[in-house]
Amino acid sequence: MTASTSPAPESAKAVSAPFLQVQQLSKAYHPARPVFADVSFTLERGEFVCIIGHSGCGKTTILNILAGLDTATSGYVFMDGREVRGPGLERGVVFQNHALMPWLTVRHNIAFAVESRWPQWKAAQVREHVERYVAMVGLSHAIDRKPSQLSGGMKQRVGIARAFAIQPKMLLLDEPFGALDALTRGSIQDELMAIVRQTRQTVFMITHDVDEAILLADRILLMHNAADTPAGFRPGGIAEVVSNPLPRDRSRATLHHLPGYYELRNHIVDFLVTRAKAH
Ligand SMILES: Nc1ncnc2c1ncn2[C@@H]1O[C@H](COP(=O)(O)OP(=O)(O)OP(=O)(O)O)[C@@H](O)[C@H]1O
């Protein structure tokens, strides 16, 4: 992906390079007013990173660039030492509206992805793999239903199972729980966390929910919007990267009892209220 076709800088090729390296990414629809500029960050293998910021700052654009579904105006993305230039099965994406094929059952929606990933697999192997991932999200009883026969939360679980089933090197989640009610959202967050811990999946996730970020993320990228300031136009960008100091085996039920929780929460909320947007 990227505007530049120059070879990887030495730092990106080094053995010790981070798993994902995003370097000086910018996106401009109008040259003088980029949505964001100079966005650089890394992800380690097995890390869960959330990005949080107000509407319009460019979160989805960044995720789409990582997915290879959009191109940057400048900058580059390297994953596992290779430049991201387009979509690929080594990156799994889950959007807010699940994007299931309505004419296929849960089983066949997931089998379709699995067969694309491993075309040489025999039918029995595909079936066993699909059933394992459907069980992982608690949907074995609904495996032969079509999406129209599922609730919103169930559809979203199918989307998550499908993304995990192709065993991507990185999972990209764009507000995957945004359309769900609070109860369903909570139980899927718990499930996602359990699966991620179990599979050591690397995840980049957009959320608007501060508690969701604190529950799930190892690090949280705080993104500010582009703005006209007294000093001139300022593109959007990453204002701060916050490390989550809470123990990794935290749960939704106990989160707010953990020492450091309120400090972390207040820090992120203060950022969103006072620094993320020009006032
Ligand atoms: N095709 C386009 N032409 C012009 N501007 C665009 C285009 N696509 C997106 N934008 C602008 O780019 C900015 C970033 O959009 P993006 O969807 O990445 O933001 P976001 O942070 O994900 O927002 P939200 O939280 O609302 O989903 C927005 O201001 C949007 O208006």
Q: List domains and CATH numbers for the chain.
A: 1-82+171-180+202-279 (3.40.50.300), 91-167 (no CATH)
Instruction: Provide the pairing of β-strand 74-79 with 82-83.
Output: antiparallel
For residue 126, the CA-to-ligand 1 centroid distance in Å is 38
52-64 pLDDT, tens digit each = 999 999 999 999 9
- pTM, to two decimals: 0.88
Q: What residue's CA is closest to ligand 1, atom 1?
A: 29
CA angle 107, 160, 200 (to 5 degrees): 120
**Cβ contact 75:9 at 8 Å:** no
Handedness of CA 204, 208, 210, 212 (dihedral sign): negative
d(CA 224, CA 221): 10
pLDDT of residue 190: 84
Q: How far is CA 186 from CA 91, 164, 182, 193, 207, in A?
A: 25, 19, 6, 11, 14
Q: Which of 57, 62, 97, 207 to mutate to test the pocket of ligand 1 (most atoms within 8 A of CB)?
A: 57
Q: Do residues 168 and 176 touch, judged by C-beta distance below 8 A?
A: no
CA of 220 to the centre of ligand 1 (A): 20
Cα-flanking dihedrals φ and ψ of residue 21, to 5°?
-130, 115
Please tell me the least confidently modeled range out of 1-15, 37-51, 65-79, 234-248.
Answer: 1-15
Work out the percent of the chain whose per-residue pLDDT is above 70: 94
Tell me the per-residue pLDDT of 164-199, one tens digit each, with 9 for 90 and over.
Answer: 888 899 999 999 888 777 777 888 888 888 888 888
* Minimum CA distance residue for ligand 1 atom 30: 56
C-alpha distance from residue 161 to each of 23, 67, 126, 192 (Å): 30, 18, 14, 10
Pocket of ligand 1 (CB under 6 A): 29, 35, 53, 55-61
- Report how far ligand 1's centroid is from the alpha carbon of 69 (Å): 14
CB 70 within 8 A of CB 64: yes
**Ligand 1 mutation target, pool 55, 209, 224, 234, most atoms within 8 A of CB:** 55
Distance 61 CA to ligand 1 centre (A): 7
Give the residue, by CA position, lying nearest to ligand 1 atom 9. Answer: 61
The token pair at 268 is 């992120």
**Which is the closest atom of ligand 1 to the Cα of 27?**
12
Provide the pLDDT for residue 73.
96
